[in-house]
A and B are shown apart, each in its own frame.
Chain A
Protein backbone atom coordinates (compact mmCIF):
# COMPACT_ATOMS: atom_id res chain seq x y z
CA UNK A 1 0.00 0.00 0.00
CA UNK A 2 1.59 3.33 -0.99
CA UNK A 3 1.44 6.38 1.24
CA UNK A 4 -2.14 7.54 0.72
CA UNK A 5 -1.52 11.26 1.01
CA UNK A 6 1.47 13.62 0.93
CA UNK A 7 0.10 16.65 2.71
CA UNK A 8 1.32 20.19 3.38
CA UNK A 9 -0.36 21.43 6.55
CA UNK A 10 1.12 24.02 8.90
CA UNK A 11 -0.84 22.55 11.82
CA UNK A 12 0.87 19.19 11.19
CA UNK A 13 -0.97 16.62 13.32
CA UNK A 14 -4.43 17.92 14.22
CA UNK A 15 -8.12 17.09 13.98
CA UNK A 16 -8.43 17.15 10.18
CA UNK A 17 -5.47 14.81 9.85
CA UNK A 18 -6.20 12.33 12.62
CA UNK A 19 -10.00 12.28 12.37
CA UNK A 20 -10.95 13.92 9.05
CA UNK A 21 -8.54 11.87 6.92
CA UNK A 22 -7.41 9.26 9.41
CA UNK A 23 -10.76 7.57 9.85
CA UNK A 24 -12.00 7.28 6.23
CA UNK A 25 -8.56 6.26 4.94
CA UNK A 26 -8.02 4.00 7.97
CA UNK A 27 -4.56 5.47 8.39
CA UNK A 28 -2.27 3.42 10.58
CA UNK A 29 0.83 5.59 10.48
CA UNK A 30 1.87 9.21 10.01
CA UNK A 31 5.29 10.36 8.85
CA UNK A 32 5.86 13.86 10.19
CA UNK A 33 8.75 15.47 8.30
CA UNK A 34 10.10 18.44 10.18
CA UNK A 35 13.70 19.10 11.17
CA UNK A 36 12.74 20.99 14.32
CA UNK A 37 10.22 18.44 15.59
CA UNK A 38 12.59 15.57 14.74
CA UNK A 39 15.08 17.13 17.15
CA UNK A 40 12.69 17.82 20.01
CA UNK A 41 11.43 15.08 22.35
CA UNK A 42 9.00 17.55 23.90
CA UNK A 43 7.40 18.46 20.55
CA UNK A 44 7.15 14.79 19.64
CA UNK A 45 5.39 13.99 22.90
CA UNK A 46 2.97 16.85 22.25
CA UNK A 47 2.02 15.47 18.84
CA UNK A 48 1.84 11.87 20.09
CA UNK A 49 -0.72 12.94 22.66
CA UNK A 50 -3.23 13.66 19.91
CA UNK A 51 -2.85 10.42 18.03
CA UNK A 52 -5.01 7.35 18.73
CA UNK A 53 -3.21 4.22 19.90
CA UNK A 54 -3.79 2.36 16.64
CA UNK A 55 -1.87 5.01 14.69
CA UNK A 56 1.93 5.16 14.88
CA UNK A 57 3.91 8.33 14.23
CA UNK A 58 7.39 8.56 12.72
CA UNK A 59 9.19 11.82 13.40
CA UNK A 60 11.90 12.35 10.81
CA UNK A 61 14.11 15.10 9.43
CA UNK A 62 14.08 15.84 5.71
CA UNK A 63 17.27 13.81 5.24
CA UNK A 64 15.81 10.86 7.15
CA UNK A 65 12.56 11.05 5.17
CA UNK A 66 14.46 10.85 1.91
CA UNK A 67 16.51 7.92 3.18
CA UNK A 68 13.54 5.99 4.57
CA UNK A 69 10.86 6.89 2.00
CA UNK A 70 10.99 3.54 0.20
CA UNK A 71 10.36 1.66 3.45
CA UNK A 72 7.47 3.97 4.35
CA UNK A 73 5.95 3.52 0.90
CA UNK A 74 6.23 -0.26 1.10
CA UNK A 75 4.51 -0.48 4.47
CA UNK A 76 1.47 -2.76 4.06
CA UNK A 77 -0.66 -0.38 6.14
CA UNK A 78 -2.02 2.94 4.81
CA UNK A 79 -0.17 6.05 5.92
CA UNK A 80 0.16 9.80 5.43
CA UNK A 81 3.29 11.90 5.03
CA UNK A 82 3.05 15.43 6.45
CA UNK A 83 5.15 18.55 6.11
CA UNK A 84 4.46 21.88 7.77
CA UNK A 85 5.52 24.02 4.81
CA UNK A 86 5.87 24.06 1.05
CA UNK A 87 9.64 24.24 1.03
CA UNK A 88 10.02 20.99 2.95
CA UNK A 89 7.68 19.17 0.54
CA UNK A 90 9.53 20.67 -2.43
CA UNK A 91 12.81 19.28 -1.09
CA UNK A 92 11.24 15.85 -0.72
CA UNK A 93 9.78 15.92 -4.23
CA UNK A 94 13.15 16.92 -5.68
CA UNK A 95 14.86 13.97 -4.01
CA UNK A 96 12.15 11.29 -4.28
CA UNK A 97 11.08 10.53 -7.87
CA UNK A 98 8.17 8.41 -6.62
CA UNK A 99 6.61 11.35 -4.80
CA UNK A 100 4.47 12.83 -7.57
CA UNK A 101 1.22 13.86 -5.91
CA UNK A 102 0.85 16.52 -3.21
CA UNK A 103 -2.14 17.69 -1.19
CA UNK A 104 -2.34 21.30 -0.01
CA UNK A 105 -4.19 20.92 3.28
CA UNK A 106 -3.57 24.12 5.19
CA UNK A 107 -1.24 27.08 4.79
CA UNK A 108 -2.72 29.79 6.94
CA UNK A 109 -2.53 33.55 7.05
CA UNK A 110 0.75 35.21 7.91
CA UNK A 111 2.24 38.59 7.03
CA UNK A 112 3.22 38.68 3.36
CA UNK A 113 0.84 35.94 2.29
CA UNK A 114 -2.16 36.50 0.02
CA UNK A 115 -5.36 34.49 0.30
CA UNK A 116 -5.94 31.88 -2.39
CA UNK A 117 -8.50 29.69 -0.65
CA UNK A 118 -10.19 29.75 2.74
CA UNK A 119 -7.34 27.63 4.06
CA UNK A 120 -4.51 28.52 1.65
CA UNK A 121 -2.48 31.74 1.86
CA UNK A 122 0.76 32.08 -0.12
CA UNK A 123 3.71 34.42 -0.53
CA UNK A 124 5.01 35.06 -4.03
CA UNK A 125 7.99 32.81 -3.26
CA UNK A 126 5.72 29.97 -2.12
CA UNK A 127 3.61 30.37 -5.25
CA UNK A 128 6.74 30.16 -7.40
CA UNK A 129 7.88 27.08 -5.51
CA UNK A 130 4.57 25.33 -6.16
CA UNK A 131 4.73 26.24 -9.86
CA UNK A 132 8.25 24.82 -10.05
CA UNK A 133 7.13 21.58 -8.40
CA UNK A 134 4.23 21.30 -10.86
CA UNK A 135 6.55 21.99 -13.79
CA UNK A 136 8.71 19.15 -12.51
CA UNK A 137 5.84 16.71 -12.83
CA UNK A 138 4.24 16.86 -9.39
CA UNK A 139 0.44 16.88 -9.39
CA UNK A 140 -0.68 19.39 -6.76
CA UNK A 141 -4.20 20.06 -5.56
CA UNK A 142 -5.89 21.57 -2.53
CA UNK A 143 -8.38 19.72 -0.35
CA UNK A 144 -8.62 20.30 3.40
CA UNK A 145 -10.91 17.36 4.22
CA UNK A 146 -12.03 14.31 2.20
CA UNK A 147 -15.58 15.61 1.70
CA UNK A 148 -14.32 18.89 0.21
CA UNK A 149 -13.85 19.59 -3.49
CA UNK A 150 -10.43 18.82 -4.96
CA UNK A 151 -9.07 22.10 -6.35
CA UNK A 152 -6.25 21.91 -8.92
CA UNK A 153 -3.17 24.07 -8.37
CA UNK A 154 -3.93 26.45 -11.25
CA UNK A 155 -7.35 27.21 -9.78
CA UNK A 156 -5.79 27.70 -6.34
CA UNK A 157 -3.21 30.13 -7.68
CA UNK A 158 -5.84 32.05 -9.63
CA UNK A 159 -7.48 32.75 -6.26
CA UNK A 160 -10.92 32.38 -7.73
CA UNK A 161 -12.16 29.60 -5.48
CA UNK A 162 -12.04 31.33 -2.11
CA UNK A 163 -14.69 29.17 -0.45
Chain B
Protein backbone atom coordinates (compact mmCIF):
# COMPACT_ATOMS: atom_id res chain seq x y z
CA UNK B 1 0.00 0.00 0.00
CA UNK B 2 1.18 3.50 -0.73
CA UNK B 3 0.10 6.98 0.25
CA UNK B 4 -1.37 9.67 -2.01
CA UNK B 5 2.08 10.46 -3.43
CA UNK B 6 2.78 6.82 -4.12
CA UNK B 7 5.24 6.38 -1.27
CA UNK B 8 5.27 2.89 0.28
CA UNK B 9 3.64 2.73 3.71
CA UNK B 10 5.33 -0.56 4.48
CA UNK B 11 8.99 -1.44 4.98
CA UNK B 12 10.46 -4.90 4.54
CA UNK B 13 13.81 -5.27 6.28
CA UNK B 14 15.84 -8.46 6.52
CA UNK B 15 19.15 -10.22 6.30
CA UNK B 16 21.38 -9.72 3.24
CA UNK B 17 19.17 -9.59 0.11
CA UNK B 18 16.04 -10.99 1.72
CA UNK B 19 13.94 -7.84 1.44
CA UNK B 20 14.82 -6.95 -2.15
CA UNK B 21 14.39 -10.60 -3.14
CA UNK B 22 10.97 -11.15 -1.62
CA UNK B 23 9.70 -7.77 -2.76
CA UNK B 24 10.87 -8.51 -6.29
CA UNK B 25 8.59 -11.57 -6.12
CA UNK B 26 5.69 -9.37 -4.97
CA UNK B 27 6.30 -7.04 -7.90
CA UNK B 28 6.46 -9.99 -10.31
CA UNK B 29 3.09 -11.25 -9.07
CA UNK B 30 1.23 -7.99 -8.53
CA UNK B 31 2.94 -5.67 -10.99
CA UNK B 32 3.05 -3.08 -8.21
CA UNK B 33 6.44 -1.56 -7.42
CA UNK B 34 5.08 1.09 -5.07
CA UNK B 35 3.95 -1.14 -2.21
CA UNK B 36 7.02 -1.87 -0.16
CA UNK B 37 10.19 -0.04 0.69
CA UNK B 38 13.13 -2.40 1.33
CA UNK B 39 16.22 -2.38 3.55
CA UNK B 40 18.98 -4.75 4.58
CA UNK B 41 20.86 -5.07 7.86
CA UNK B 42 23.93 -6.26 5.99
CA UNK B 43 27.09 -4.81 7.52
CA UNK B 44 25.14 -2.82 10.09
CA UNK B 45 25.03 -3.01 13.84
CA UNK B 46 21.63 -2.90 15.53
CA UNK B 47 21.73 0.87 16.05
CA UNK B 48 22.44 1.54 12.37
CA UNK B 49 19.62 -0.80 11.37
CA UNK B 50 17.35 1.05 13.80
CA UNK B 51 18.28 4.33 12.08
CA UNK B 52 17.09 2.86 8.75
CA UNK B 53 13.76 1.95 10.30
CA UNK B 54 13.39 5.39 11.91
CA UNK B 55 14.11 7.05 8.54
CA UNK B 56 11.40 4.94 6.93
CA UNK B 57 8.90 5.84 9.66
CA UNK B 58 9.76 9.52 9.18
CA UNK B 59 8.90 9.03 5.51
CA UNK B 60 5.45 7.70 6.36
CA UNK B 61 5.97 3.96 6.87
CA UNK B 62 3.39 2.57 9.32
CA UNK B 63 4.14 -1.16 9.15
CA UNK B 64 7.50 -2.92 9.27
CA UNK B 65 7.91 -6.50 8.09
CA UNK B 66 11.01 -8.36 9.33
CA UNK B 67 12.35 -11.78 8.44
CA UNK B 68 13.41 -13.43 11.70
CA UNK B 69 11.99 -13.01 15.22
CA UNK B 70 15.46 -13.33 16.73
CA UNK B 71 17.05 -11.12 14.10
CA UNK B 72 18.67 -7.75 14.62
CA UNK B 73 16.15 -6.39 12.12
CA UNK B 74 13.32 -7.19 14.51
CA UNK B 75 15.25 -5.71 17.44
CA UNK B 76 15.78 -2.55 15.39
CA UNK B 77 12.10 -2.33 14.44
CA UNK B 78 10.93 -2.89 18.02
CA UNK B 79 13.29 -0.19 19.33
CA UNK B 80 11.98 2.29 16.78
CA UNK B 81 8.41 1.25 17.57
CA UNK B 82 8.95 2.17 21.20
CA UNK B 83 8.91 5.85 20.17
CA UNK B 84 6.28 5.27 17.48
CA UNK B 85 3.49 3.14 18.93
CA UNK B 86 1.42 3.81 15.82
CA UNK B 87 3.79 1.53 13.88
CA UNK B 88 3.06 -2.19 13.59
CA UNK B 89 5.88 -4.75 13.41
CA UNK B 90 5.30 -8.14 11.77
CA UNK B 91 8.06 -10.70 11.98
CA UNK B 92 8.63 -14.03 10.21
CA UNK B 93 7.31 -12.56 6.97
CA UNK B 94 6.71 -14.74 3.91
CA UNK B 95 5.52 -14.16 0.37
CA UNK B 96 1.86 -15.08 1.14
CA UNK B 97 1.92 -12.54 3.98
CA UNK B 98 3.15 -9.74 1.76
CA UNK B 99 0.75 -10.62 -1.04
CA UNK B 100 -2.22 -10.57 1.31
CA UNK B 101 -1.11 -7.24 2.73
CA UNK B 102 -0.58 -5.88 -0.78
CA UNK B 103 -4.16 -6.68 -1.73
CA UNK B 104 -5.70 -5.42 1.52
CA UNK B 105 -7.93 -2.38 1.41
CA UNK B 106 -5.76 0.69 2.14
CA UNK B 107 -6.24 1.87 5.68
CA UNK B 108 -7.69 -1.43 6.89
CA UNK B 109 -7.01 -1.53 10.59
CA UNK B 110 -6.37 -5.25 10.84
CA UNK B 111 -4.60 -5.78 7.52
CA UNK B 112 -1.46 -6.98 9.29
CA UNK B 113 -3.34 -9.53 11.40
CA UNK B 114 -5.19 -10.84 8.36
CA UNK B 115 -1.94 -11.12 6.39
CA UNK B 116 -0.28 -13.09 9.19
CA UNK B 117 -3.23 -15.49 9.32
CA UNK B 118 -2.97 -15.93 5.56
CA UNK B 119 0.74 -16.66 5.90
CA UNK B 120 0.14 -19.29 8.57
CA UNK B 121 -2.57 -20.94 6.51
CA UNK B 122 -0.33 -21.02 3.44
CA UNK B 123 2.20 -23.32 5.09
CA UNK B 124 1.83 -27.02 4.49
CA UNK B 125 3.79 -30.24 4.28
CA UNK B 126 3.10 -32.32 1.19
CA UNK B 127 4.35 -35.90 1.17
CA UNK B 128 4.39 -38.15 -1.84
CA UNK B 129 2.12 -41.17 -2.00
CA UNK B 130 3.73 -44.57 -2.55
CA UNK B 131 1.99 -46.21 -5.49
CA UNK B 132 0.75 -49.76 -5.01
CA UNK B 133 1.76 -50.89 -8.50
A contacts, CB < 8 Å to B: 10-15, 17-19, 42, 46-47, 49-52, 106, 108-110, 118-119
Contacts and interface: CB of A to CB of B under 8 A. Distances in A.
A13 B45 contact: no
Contacts of B78: 46, 49
Interface stretch (B30-38, B65-73, B100-108, B118-126): B65-73
Given A46-B78, A49-B78, A14 B72 contact: yes
A17 B71 CA distance: 9
A42 B70 contact: no
Contacts, number: 51
Contacts of B69: 49-50
Given A19-B68, A50-B70, A14 B45 contact: no
Nearest to B75: A46
A14 B44 contact: no
Nearest to B14: A15
Given A11-B72, A15-B68, A110-B45, 18 more contacts: A14-B70, A15-B15, A15-B70, A15-B72, A18-B70, A19-B68, A19-B70, A46-B75, A49-B69, A49-B78, A50-B68, A50-B74, A108-B44, A109-B44, A109-B45, A109-B48, A118-B43, A119-B43
Q: Which of B44, B71, B78 has the largest count of A CB atoms less than 10 A from its CB?
A: B71
Interface of B: 15, 43-46, 48, 68-72, 74-75, 78-79, 82
Nearest to A43: B79
A47 B46 CA distance: 12
Given A46-B78, A49-B78, A108 B45 contact: yes
Contacts of B79: 46
A119 B46 CA distance: 13
B84 to A, nearest CB: 15
A49 B82 CA distance: 15
A109 B43 contact: yes
